[in-house]
Each structure stands twice: as structure tokens, then as C-alpha cells.
């Protein structure tokens, strides 16, 4: 997570100091980065997006469950999830979910990946090889990955999974777009992309759990004023301890500005969509919360 000083200063998650010039510089960088990414995929963009485009609004008679990696996912009744899945409910999971014990109980219909360290060609995380072995062994699980991975994925001849590509470029602050066929208008969290793809596929209702944005509960500042983030996931291999000092050079205030944007973009882009939050205690206030759900353990008590 070591970014150069200019790149970090112009990141969308950096507090702009109430400066109009800083805001304009950040918005300019967003446009420039979008243009560069668009140029890099011109040769295969239309071809790669075609399978996902063909599926738009195809699941209007079904519900979906998007499982984030936050601690509230521990409240899921996995037997109930499996039963609903057998009856037509689609399950979305993200990132390292295949490394969780719960993967043995529920195998998602769709696994959404977008972090560059999770590319099959990446060796920057020791969990990566285990993740791709698990994917290869579960060919019924559809993969949804960024358009920029197209050539890397094409080189994985041994994969028999269905692979869908989405446009992972960002125009945060320039648009409210949710369609995975165009640049997104929201912050680049993988679980947000999973929710947006579920909406695009036209599910009658998208239920979410584990979308907690509660990472700030495990941040600490040590005696040298270094920002140390402990994992805050519902399974052990979901995350690891990180030193975020270089990523947030302005310190804890910069960190909490980033956290605030996680909530802001849900309200900016997702409000009004057919999404419900199964966690009654969630800090995420962009979606209605049903009084009970058969998918949550407490509903049976």
C-alpha cells in the first residue's frame, strides 16, 4: 500500500483540506485515470463485456444475497442460506470467501474479485495461490472480475469457470452510475461492486450482510504514531494486520475521511435501489432493514 506522495495527495480518499484547488486536482486526476484505463482496454472492451451485458435484467423473478466479509456475516444461518439457494436465490461472495470454513457450507453462485493483489498472476499475498486452487476446484462458481484482467484470465486455460468481466474504472464524483458496463460513480470497494452487479442483473431484491464499514473499530495508533489496522472479518483468513501509515500520510484524520466516504457513496449512488440490509445493528443507513429474516440466526430464537 505504498503510494507516491503525489498519487496519495490526489487520491479520491484523501481529505482535500477545504481547498477548491485540491478538489479540482483530485477530480482532474479521476478523469485522467479513467481516460488512460479506457485506452488500455479499447482492443477488447466490447468483446469482454458482451457476456455480462447479455445477462442484464435476466433474474427479475429471483432474490440475491450479497455476503461481505464484515463481522455481521457471522449471524447468517448458513443452512437456511443453502436451502434458499437451492430454491433459486443467488449468492454473491467476494475476495477470500473461498478460504473460509463457511465455503464448505455454501458455495456462491458468483465470486466477485477486484483487488489487484488477487489477480491469478500476483504473488504479493500468500493467500492468493490457495484462493485460485479453490476456484479451480469449484467450476460451478461464476467469476466476476475487472475488464483489465481480460488478458491474464485468458491465459488461465485450466479454469473451467464461467468468467464475466465488468468495467472497473472509476468516475467518483462525476457520475452516480451503477452499471458494471460503464465507469462506476462510487468508491472502489469490492462488495459495492457486487451489489451493483446484482442490481444490474435485475434481482427482485438484493439482501446484504457483512457490509459493515466497521473497519475503524480495529484501528489503533502506536507510540510512534503509526496507524495499525487489525483484521475485522468474519473468518480468520479474510484479512491480516496492516500498517496504514504510508497510505494515510495525514494520519488518523485522513483515515476517518476515507471511512466517511464509504458511507457517503452508498447514499449518493445506491439509495432507492431494491436493496435491504439484513443486519439490524448495521451502521450503514442507506437501505431499509427488515424486522426479521429467515436467513439470520436470531430469527429462529
Domain spans, the chain: 5-300
CA distance 55 to 51: 7
Phi, then psi, of 21 in degrees rounded to 5: -70, -35
Mean pLDDT of the chain: 93
Residue 183's pLDDT is what?
97
Average pLDDT over residues 244-265: 94
| Nearby residues of 19 by Cβ (< 8 Å), 6 or more positions away | none
pLDDT of 219 higher than 50: yes
Q: Counting beta carbons within 10 angstroms of the beta carbon of residue 270, is it exposed (0 to 12), middle (13 to 18) or buried (19 or more)?
A: buried
Residue 146 confidence (pLDDT):
97
Checking if the pLDDT of 91 tops 60, the result is yes
Q: Tell me, what's the pLDDT at 298?
A: 62
pLDDT tens for 161-205 read 899 999 999 999 999 999 999 999 999 999 999 999 999 999 999
Q: Quick check: 299 pLDDT over 50?
A: no
* Region 17-28 average pLDDT: 94
Is a pLDDT exceeding 60 seen at residue 237? yes
Confidence of residue 7 (pLDDT cuts 50, 70, 90): confident
Residue 120: per-residue pLDDT: 87
In b/e form, how buried is each residue of 19-58, taking b as 16+ CB within 10 angstroms?
eeeeeeebbebbeebbeebeeebeeebeebbeebeeeeee
In this predicted structure, the answer to whether residue 2 has a pLDDT above a threshold of 60 is no
Which range is least confidently modeled, 158-162, 177-181, 257-261?
Answer: 158-162
Q: Which pLDDT band, with edges at 50, 70 and 90, does 290 fall under?
A: very high
Amino acid at each position: 500500500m505504498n503510494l507516491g506522495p503525489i498519487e496519495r495527495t490526489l487520491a479520491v480518499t484523501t481529505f482535500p483540506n477545504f481547498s477548491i484547488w485540491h478538489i479540482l486536482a483530485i477530480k482532474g486526476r479521476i478523469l485522467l485515470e479513467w481516460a488512460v484505463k479506457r485506452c488500455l482496454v479499447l482492443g477488447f472492451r466490447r468483446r469482454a463485456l458482451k457476456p455480462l451485458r447479455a445477462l442484464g435484467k435476466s433474474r427479475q423473478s429471483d432474490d440475491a444475497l450479497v455476503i461481505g466479509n464484515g463481522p455481521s456475516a457471522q449471524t447468517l444461518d448458513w443452512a437456511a442460506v443453502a436451502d434458499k439457494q437451492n430454491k433459486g436465490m443467488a449468492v454473491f461472495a467476494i475476495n477470500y470467501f473461498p478460504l473460509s470454513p463457511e465455503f464448505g457450507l455454501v458455495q456462491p453462485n458468483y465470486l466477485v474479485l477486484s483487488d489487484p493483489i488477487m489477480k491469478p498472476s500476483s504473488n504479493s499475498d500468500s493467500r492468493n495461490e490457495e484462493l485460485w486452487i479453490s476456484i479451480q476446484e469449484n467450476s460451478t462458481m461464476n467469476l466476476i472480475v475487472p475488464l483489465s484482467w481480460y488478458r491474464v484470465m485468458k491465459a488461465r486455460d485450466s479454469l473451467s469457470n464461467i468468467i464475466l468481466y465488468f468495467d472497473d474504472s472509476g468516475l467518483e464524483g462525476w457520475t452516480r452510475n451503477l452499471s458494471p458496463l460503464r465507469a462506476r460513480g462510487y468508491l472502489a470497494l469490492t462488495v459495492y461492486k457486487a451489489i451493483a452487479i446484482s442490481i444490474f442483473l435485475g434481482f427482485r431484491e438484493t439482501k446484504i450482510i457483512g457490509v459493515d464499514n466497521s473497519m475503524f473499530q480495529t484501528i489503533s495508533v502506536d507510540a510512534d504514531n503509526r496507524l495499525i489496522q487489525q483484521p475485522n472479518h468474519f473468518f480468520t483468513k479474510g484479512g491480516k494486520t496492516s500498517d496504514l501509515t504510508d497510505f494515510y500520510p495525514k494520519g488518523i484524520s485522513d483515515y476517518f475521511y476515507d471511512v466517511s466516504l464509504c458511507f457517503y457513496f452508498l447514499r449518493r449512488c445506491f439509495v432507492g435501489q431494491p436493496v435491504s440490509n439484513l443486519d439490524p445493528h448495521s451502521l450503514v443507513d442507506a437501505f431499509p432493514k427488515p424486522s426479521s429474516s429467515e436467513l439470520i440466526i436470531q430469527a429462529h430464537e
